Amino acid sequence: MDINMTRTMKYRYLILLILVLLGISAILIFSLYQDVKSKAIKNHNITQKTHAMLAAKGIITYFDEQISQLSILAKSPEIIRLSDTGKNTMKNYLFLNSGAILGISRIDNQGKIIFTLPLKKEYLGQDISSQKHFQTTKMTGKPSISNVISLIQGYRAVIIHVPVFKDERFDGVLGISISFENISKNYLDVIRVGQTGYAWMISQDGTELYCPVPGHVGNHVSVTCKGYPDLLAITAEMMAGKEGIANYTYNRVRVNVKEMVRKHAVYMPVHLANTHWSIIVATPEDEILAGIEDFINRLTFLIVFLFALTMVFSYTGFKAWGIVREEEKRKLVEEQLEQSEQKYRGIFENAQEGIFRSAPEGRIILANHAMAWMFGYESPEELMNGSTDAAHLRYVDPRERIKIQEMIETQGIVRGYHIQLFRKDQSAIWVSMTMTTIYGKEGEILYYEGIAEDITERKQAEEKLQTTLESLRKALNTTIQVMVSAVESRDPYTAGHQTRSADLARAIAAEMGLPPEKIEVIRMAGSIHDIGKLSIPAEILSKPTKLGNIEFALIKEHAQKGYEMLKDVESPWPLAEIVYQHHERIDGSGYPRNLKGDEILMEARILAVADVVEAMASHRPYRPGLGIDEALNEIEKKRGTHYDNAVADACLRLFREKGFQLREASF
């Protein structure tokens, strides 16, 4: 009777322990899941915000450039008088921007079209004075941007008006119509998040300007979002020009099935002259959380595994205690231990990762099913007992085997090492390998024990990401080239100056032994270091005589103007600051901030020397080229005062010892 009562109490304690462990496991899984879910959504929102920010800055920069260029044209006396030269200038401007700009018009102070391209006689004399953007420009004397409108040619366009002044009096506007499809293609179509995440954009008054969902474009959000109060609240924030993160419930249509889903979104304003638009990027929650399903499965497996191990030890402990107390329980303990071994064997066989043991020469002596299936074998026995090739892990690069062997011998363990191995069908897979050494009593190596995880899909994803990053780098280089062309198109006498300065700066950086990434940054900065000249009137840039004090003061502003154009462009490199500092000098005599010594970035010091050498050696409107010898003498003379010693020495070595030459200028 006492024995039965003791057994009953033990089983009750065991059941209670199981329930407690199950409860703790459930709480742990739920807590970790909520934490991972929160972090996944947060990280995804960061990605969405990056998409929205890049699109917003791209659109703002695009319109700022158009307004800047159009404002420069509007100040031309030929445009103001609308002479033949002015008309030709408008024609050339339209030609150079074909595809992006649909038309250009000169409108008088009463709002009547007096000249337009493409030339249509029926448009001449047409009165547009009632249009809001014309009235805004006339009233404020500042550029204005219209809402997106549909033209009779079937295009959706945005109109930009900049004021034209004659004798400091308002004399009408110069306007262009920009293809909105071109804007959406360059900045919005490219935004794709997951399978169904996308961006859409609304105007200040709530009209949907862009949306991949059919039937939304051109309609007000009060119509397209009717019945979705949380989404209407978000659009109200967007119309107010606010920025934020939110979630809302909306329908999703897949083939003929319509379902309600929760979406997580980031919205951001796009400020344009007299108005603003607002971009929102949204993704369904189930797509965001799809990436953590594998993690949750592994977490669950780990907790179950630990739970099982805890149960094994607990159960074994109870039985061991029973053996000490009474002999008749010995057989029961042995049976339970055998069951525990079977359970452990089941965990070993059913593990999702490959578990193995290998002899020192590489032969597989123990493996689970996951290990066999990973390498294309139907069973562990086929992997272990097949041919010599089948019984060894075969490396794509045989040197990797030697490397792993050396690591195990020196460190005793290899953790998460990524290698490529062959499967049975000769296909290659990427594997994350963790191995440790098991020694005998005499210190001899008995075998290696390890875990293998197939990471082929992860590696492929990394390669795809690298390809995407390379595409982004190429896109940045293309953008820089467009900016270079924009500067040089306004100043034919310095055509190629930026490119040749960039080439010399890159050569100096290489001569100094700078790392490749820094050399590339110097080349990019050199290619656009005079971008600020877009703000300087063309007649000053191409003036054939010596510049006056006021004119030179305007020229000197290009470093700061370039910084202002580039400062908000997100980049891992200090492009804006390099452009800002390229006229600073070591002794503080430079401009615009009179920086000294180490206050000046090394990249800017290199670009300063390259800029001076190229400028002195090349032809200018107000003087012929002074020649490379005169330029090098200038660098040598002012080495240590104006120019960094190491940079100056590297430049002089390039030309005097290594035969470096500037590329010939082309006009």
pLDDT in tens, 291-345: 676 666 776 676 666 666 666 655 665 555 555 555 566 666 566 656 656 665 6
Q: How many domains does the chain have?
A: 4
Report if residue 18 sits inside a domain.
no
Task: Say which residues have a Cβ less than 8 Å from residue 514's Cβ, sequence separation at least 6.
Answer: 522, 602
Regarding whether 632 and 548 lie in a shared domain, the answer is: yes
- Model pLDDT for residues 519-551, shown as the tens digit of each residue: 999 998 998 888 888 888 777 777 777 778 888
Give residue 501's domain range.
Answer: 465-656
Regarding whether 596 and 512 lie in a shared domain, the answer is: yes
Regarding whether 157 and 218 lie in a shared domain, the answer is: no
Closest to 453 (Cα-Cα) out of 347, 351, 348: 351
d(C-alpha 141, C-alpha 169), whole Å: 10
As a whole-number percent, the residues of the chain with pLDDT over 90 amount to 32
Regarding whether 91 and 189 lie in a shared domain, the answer is: no
**Higher local confidence (pLDDT), 28 or 111:** 111
- Model pLDDT for residues 557-580, shown as the tens digit of each residue: 989 998 998 888 777 788 999 999
- pLDDT of amino acid 665: 47
Structural tokens at position 662: 């500037």
Hey, which of 28-32, 374-378, 476-480, 492-496 has the most confident mean pLDDT? 374-378
As a whole number, mean pLDDT of residues 101-113 equals: 93
**Higher local confidence (pLDDT), 290 or 212:** 212
As a whole number, mean pLDDT of residues 134-151 equals: 89
- pLDDT of amino acid 390: 52
Report if residue 188 sits inside a domain.
yes
Regarding whether 188 and 171 lie in a shared domain, the answer is: no
pLDDT at 39 over 60: yes
Regarding whether 162 and 197 lie in a shared domain, the answer is: no
CATH of the domain at 97: 3.30.450.20
> What's the chain's average pLDDT?
82
Regarding whether 188 and 121 lie in a shared domain, the answer is: no
- Model pLDDT for residues 58-97, shown as the tens digit of each residue: 899 989 998 999 999 999 999 999 999 999 999 999 888 8
End-of-domain residue from the set 420, 454, 488: 454
Q: Which neighbouring-strand residues pair with 210?
A: 201
Kindly list the distances between the CA atom of residue 565 and the CA atoms of 521, 528, 557, in Å, as whole numbers in the listed order. 17, 11, 12
Do the beta carbons of residue 188 and residue 201 sit within 8 Å? yes
Report if residue 193 sits inside a domain.
yes
End-of-domain residue from the set 428, 454, 480: 454
d(C-alpha 200, C-alpha 91), whole Å: 34
Regarding whether 195 and 284 lie in a shared domain, the answer is: yes
Between CA 119 and CA 125, with CA 122 as vertex, the angle to 5 degrees is 95
Tell me whether residue 409 is exposed, middle or buried, using C-beta atoms within 10 angstroms of its C-beta: 0 to 12, 13 to 18, 19 or more: exposed
End-of-domain residue from the set 175, 202, 237: 175
- Model pLDDT for residues 179-197, shown as the tens digit of each residue: 888 888 888 888 877 777 8
Do the beta carbons of residue 435 and residue 442 sit within 8 Å? no
Report if residue 23 sits inside a domain.
no
Regarding whether 491 and 412 lie in a shared domain, the answer is: no
- pLDDT of amino acid 494: 56
CATH of the domain at 588: 1.10.3210.10
Q: How confident is the model at residue 666 (pLDDT cuts 50, 70, 90)?
A: very low
Identity of the amino acid at 508: I
Q: How confident is the model at residue 6 (pLDDT cuts 50, 70, 90)?
A: low
Lowest mean pLDDT among 286-290, 446-450, 633-637: 286-290
d(C-alpha 653, C-alpha 660), whole Å: 9
Report if residue 125 sits inside a domain.
yes
As a whole-number percent, the residues of the chain with pLDDT over 70 amount to 81
pLDDT at 484 over 50: yes
- Model pLDDT for residues 485-519, shown as the tens digit of each residue: 766 666 655 557 888 899 999 999 999 999 998 99
Regarding whether 444 and 497 lie in a shared domain, the answer is: no
Structural tokens at position 484: 């270079």
Identity of the amino acid at 352: Q
Report if residue 501 sits inside a domain.
yes
Report if residue 309 sits inside a domain.
no
* Residue 419 three-state SS: strand
**Higher local confidence (pLDDT), 119 or 259:** 119
Q: How confident is the model at residue 252 (pLDDT cuts 50, 70, 90)?
A: low
Regarding whether 116 and 209 lie in a shared domain, the answer is: no
Question: Packing angle between helix 497-511 and helix 645-656, nearest 10 degrees?
Answer: 100
Q: How confident is the model at residue 142 (pLDDT cuts 50, 70, 90)?
A: very high
DSSP string, 643-654: B-HHHHHHHHHH
Q: How confident is the model at residue 556 (pLDDT cuts 50, 70, 90)?
A: confident
Closest to 578 (Cα-Cα) out of 536, 608, 616: 608
pLDDT at 428 over 90: no
Kindly list the distances between the CA atom of residue 348 and the CA atoms of 313, 432, 448, 536, in Å, as whole numbers in the listed order. 17, 18, 17, 74
Report if residue 341 sits inside a domain.
no
Regarding whether 482 and 374 lie in a shared domain, the answer is: no
